[in-house]
């Protein structure tokens, strides 16, 4: 089970959270990673934690002021990148371009989508994984596996019907170990979460609660 913690732009200490993720990862069979802001990528990667970017743009080297180049993300120590998060939406052609850019730089990819239909379209672009995240549940503490489990099951089916090699992750409202188990029971191979760890008073305790049932 892959647990990817997105730090968004929350006012947390990215190194503290990264070290917590790294330490818990060493004590569990689950795979854990963290996605800090681009400005913190290199420092976070230096902790030894599996580090992900929150976004890369569909660009190559050149005149692209203000954009995020996949090669720069990889050089900073990232192993993968999120693409098309609900807070950084892209057009389909740009999602495709970002997946290609990430592949070019040797980055693993997770493409986010709102619903099973979009999951099928995203899977057709050949990412390593897709993540279903109904935006209305993000940050609510109510997991999609509880609010609408059919969304997760249908997303798993949609991805499998297009490309059985594309893994499905579940996001939005994940905050407890029970949420992770429920996502796995519905066919997800991982979860995305943010506030449940990034806003926790004790990130290590929050992470241990997440992986303990696994």
The predicted pLDDT at position 174 comes to: 83
- What lies within 8 Å, CB to CB, of 13 at 6+ separation is none
Residue 202's CB: how many other CB atoms inside 10 A? Answer: 11
- Nearest Cα to Cα of residue 174 among 135, 144, 203: 144
Q: Model-level pTM?
A: 0.94
- What lies within 8 Å, CB to CB, of 12 at 6+ separation is 198, 199, 203
The predicted pLDDT at position 134 comes to: 76
Residue 176's CB: how many other CB atoms inside 10 A? Answer: 18
pLDDT tens track, the chain, 214 positions: 999 999 999 999 999 999 999 999 999 999 999 999 999 999 999 999 999 999 999 999 999 999 999 999 999 999 999 999 999 999 999 999 999 999 999 999 999 999 999 999 999 999 999 999 876 666 666 666 676 788 899 999 999 999 999 999 998 778 889 889 989 999 999 999 999 999 999 999 999 999 998 8
The predicted pLDDT at position 172 comes to: 75
CATH 3.20.20.70 assigned to 2-211 = yes
For the annotated catalytic residues, the residue numbers are: 85, 133
Q: How many helices (H) and strands (E) does the chain have?
A: 10, 8
Contact 169, 129 (CB under 8 A): yes
The predicted pLDDT at position 65 comes to: 98
**Percentages (nearest 5) of helix, strand, coil residues in the chain:** 40, 15, 40
Angle between helices 14-25 and 203-211 (to 10 degrees): 30
- Phi then psi dihedrals of residue 170, to 5 deg: -125, 130
Instruction: List the binding residues for substrate.
Output: 6-8, 138, 173, 194-195
Distance CA 130, CA 122 (A): 7
Q: Which H or E run includes 193? A: strand 190-193
Sign of the alpha-carbon torsion through 113, 119, 121, 123: positive
Domain locations along the chain: 2-211
Q: Could you say which DSSP state residue 144 is in?
A: H
Instruction: List the binding residues.
Output: 6-8, 138, 173, 194-195
Residue 209, SS3?
helix
The predicted pLDDT at position 138 comes to: 62
């Amino acid at each position: 089970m892959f647990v990817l913690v997105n730090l968004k732009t929350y006012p947390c200490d990215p190194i503290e959270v990264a070290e917590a993720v790294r330490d818990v990862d060493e004590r569990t069979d689950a795979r854990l990673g963290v996605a800090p802001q681009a400005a913190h990528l290199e420092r976070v990667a230096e902790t030894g934690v599996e580090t992900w970017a929150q976004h890369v743009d569909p660009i190559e080297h050149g005149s692209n002021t203000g954009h995020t180049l996949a090669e720069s993300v990889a050089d900073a120590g990232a192993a993968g990148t999120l693409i098309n998060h609900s807070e950084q939406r892209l057009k389909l052609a740009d999602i495709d371009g970002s997946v290609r850019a990430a592949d070019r730089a040797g980055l693993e990819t997770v493409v986010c989508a709102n619903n099973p239909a979009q999951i099928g379209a995203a899977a057709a672009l050949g990412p390593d994984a897709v993540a279903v995240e109904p935006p209305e549940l993000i940050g609510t503490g109510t997991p999609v596996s509880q609010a609408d489990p059919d969304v997760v099951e249908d997303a798993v089916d949609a991805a499998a019907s297009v490309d059985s090699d594309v893994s499905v992750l579940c996001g939005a409202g994940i905050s407890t170990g029970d949420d992770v188990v429920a996502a796995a029971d519905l066919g997800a191979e991982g979860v995305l979460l943010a506030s449940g760890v990034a806003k926790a008073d004790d990130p290590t305790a929050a992470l241990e609660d997440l992986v303990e049932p696994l």
